[in-house]
Structure 1
Amino acid sequence: MKKNIAIVMGGYSSEVNISLQSGAVVYKHLNKEKYNTYKVHILSNKWVVVDADETEYPIDKNDFSFTKNTTKITFDCVFNAIHGNPGENGSLLAYFDLIKMKHTSAPFYQMALTFNKRDSLSVVKHYDIPTAKSVYINQGDTFSTDDIIQKVGLPCFVKPNNAGSSFGISKVHSIEKLIPAIEKAYKEDSEILIESFLDGTEVSVGVIQYKGETTVLPITEIVSENDFFDYEAKYLGKSKEITPARLTEQQEAKVREIAKKVYEILNMSGFSRSEYILVNDEPHFLEMNTVPGLTEASILPQQANQAGISLSELFENAIEMAIK
């Protein structure tokens, strides 16, 4: 008997449209002979199942079911394709845990921890994982721009603490630009992370649970045409994503070792894609994405393809791991 799979997409953040694209790709590639697949739009004003003819059926939040032609349909598993709030920050996963709904992501606490850049950096630093120098400020805090620059130097990065897809991020080259960058970041989040610039090779590493094993996928080197790997570089073709990365055997081994260690330190499961910068051959951890882009052109699917894993296999594995 075919299992009913809800593919949740959308969300409440600036990443809503990117998530809808990822969800559509998952829907396209999941085996329809094995699963009954449903697009579920989780939006700030509605939770609905969207049929092939764009007919919408409201989700019953009591048990995450819906009714079509008087027939109540429940789900065996949820495939989480929501970038940002509420799918990547743990909120939706906590709800699924409460109603005992199986899903493809890590438990809600791990999702919340990794979405919070400040908190996840604090954990990995405890295990001596190299990171950039950083300063944290909350909206309303008093601070000295001189003190910040003295600690992190110039150039530096100003980031929203809880956001993705490079929304709200600025690379600051002069102290005069720091306040405007902070104000830009506050439009995305009330918590700000300011980090030192790391001059080195940037790589992105997918680590997943595949057939019951923690698997490090082939590494991708990021070469941005812009000043850094910003929204344009990620989504509008302003970068080169080279898989496998142009690393020495020693560099590759070190990155793979650190990436797997970080995945395990953070008690992760399911999908992850983490960013590192190699400085003097030492990988420095930047952040982890637990609902990475899942379109055909996205980095993690590129890495899976390099490893001989098709999108259908990648997505089906996530569902089967969740169900088991």
Structure 2
Amino acid sequence: MPHVLVIGGGQNAEHEVSLASAAAVAAALRLSGHAVRTVTIDRDGIWRADGLPATASPVESLGLALPLIADTDVIFPAVHGALGEDGALAALGALAGAKVVGSDLRAGAIGMDKWATKLVADAVGVRTARGKVIAVEDIGDAEFEGEVVVKPVSAGSSFGVSLVTEESELLEALRTAARFDRRILVEEVVRAREIDVAVLREAGGIRWAAPPLEIHTTGPFDTATKYDGSARFTVPAQLDAAQMSALKRAAIAVFDAIGCAGVARMDFFLTDDGPVLNEVNTMPGLTAASQVPRMFAVAGVEYTDLVSRMVRAALDPGR
């Protein structure tokens, strides 16, 4: 069995979520017989692992952690958000000549950037909501018509996202988003069913989509709703054959266009006119109870098998 280095934590608002994903991934890989070591990146950027001496700076701690990277067969970077999911850890692995689970630097960076994702999706014929980007320096001049969603261009777990229904709410929503990114996306509101589709690229390069999952909430699927247990999920989502085909086709098209690898989750609104892409997650939540493992479980791929498949795909990516 290959030796796997699982990295969790990170320096962003998704730190706790990443710790949970990393712990679950490490436990599952051990159950399937892998030799696993773990590293945690603290909120201040310090790399910590059993056997590493304590240091006061990120660069010193990274230097001490590099032998762990050298001694592993594959890195599993279970770090969501900036300086993780955005391709930073994939780039570190590439520079070190190590195999890395999941998407590479380019795909991670594009997937993390909601505006770039929209441009790529539109280019391959997958619809997105109309929107525009506002620089933080220009938020005082912003105007809107109708209801809009305000979100950081690059952030996850719905941090900094606001639904604006009155013009008086816009400035505060922009300021909230600006806490997470200097570029802010303002989009039209799409009122439709919220459907997630997970795509897996297996060893050898074959890609396939798991049965979609539908999200049920009484309001926006915001950060609180994602983690307080109030949202309900239906998996598989109740879809007719045409809807199922359209969603899976759109998910794989975006997955391929961005250049994703491993697992990625595509979040859609399902309208009467077909799917509208909301966003892409190239390193989605990976506890056994997270949305992606739930979808693959319905397809007969249990959690331990899923993370093992992700490791095998990193070792044998195919073309």
Query: TM-score, normalised on structure 1?
Result: 0.90
Q: Is the deviation greater in 120-129 or in 4-13?
A: 120-129
- SS in structure 2 opposite 1:237? coil
1:172 aligns with 2:164: yes
Instruction: Report percent identity of matched pairs.
Output: 28
How far apart are 1:35 and its partner, in Å? 1.8
Show the counterpart of 1:69: none
Residue matched to 1:23 = 22
> Is this contact kept in 2: 1:251–1:281, CA < 8 A?
no
Separation of aligned partners in 1, 2:26 and 2:259:
28
Residues 91 and 211 of structure 1: CA distance in aligned 2, closer, same or farther (over 3 Å) = closer
- What letter corresponds to residue 85 of structure 1 in structure 2? A
CA deviation map 1:201-242 (0-9, x unaligned): 1101101113431010110011112x2111122111121111
- Superimposed CA distance per residue, residues 243-278 of structure 1 (whole angstroms, 9 cap, x where no aligned partner): 001112211111111111111111211110011001
Q: Does residue 126 of structure 1 match 2:123?
A: yes
Q: TM-score, normalised by structure 2?
A: 0.91
CA contact (8 A) 1:206 1:217 kept: yes
Letter of the 1:46 partner, please give it.
Answer: I
Q: Which runs of 5+ in 2 are unaligned?
A: 56-60
1:133-172 equivalence runs, <5 A = 133-141=130-138, 144-146=141-143, 149-150=144-145, 154-172=146-164
Per-residue CA deviation, residues 282-324 of structure 1 (Å, 9 max, x unaligned), is 1001110011001121000100110110111111111111112
- Equivalent runs, 1:63-74 vs 2, <5 Å: 64-66=66-68, 74=71
- Equivalent residue for 1:220? 213
Match of 1:308 among 300, 307, 316: 300
* SS of structure 2 residue aligned to 1:245: coil
Deviation by residue 1:143-200 (Cα, 9 ceiling, x = unmatched): 6443xx23xxx22100011100011100011111010000000111111001100111
The letter for the 2-side match of 1:219 is P
Residues 135-144 or 288-297, more deviating: 135-144
Alignment check: 8 A CA contact 2:215 2:234 kept:
yes
Partner SS, residue 119 of structure 1 = helix
Q: Distance in 1 between matches of 2:147 and 2:97?
A: 47
Structure 1 outlier segments of 4+, above 6 Å: 55-58
Gaps of 5+ in 1: 67-71
CA distance in 2: counterparts of 1:257 and 1:33, whole angstroms: 32
Greater strand percent: which structure?
A: 1
Cα distance in 1 between the residues matched to 2:17 and 2:210:
23
**What is the aligned residue count?**
309
> Tell me, what secondary structure is at the counterpart of 2:198?
strand
Deviation at 1:62, TM superposition (A): 7.4
Query: Which has the larger helix fraction?
Result: 2
Over aligned residues, Cα RMSD in angstroms? Answer: 2.0
Deviations 1:24-65 (A, max 9, x none): 0011111456321111102234112247xxx87786537722
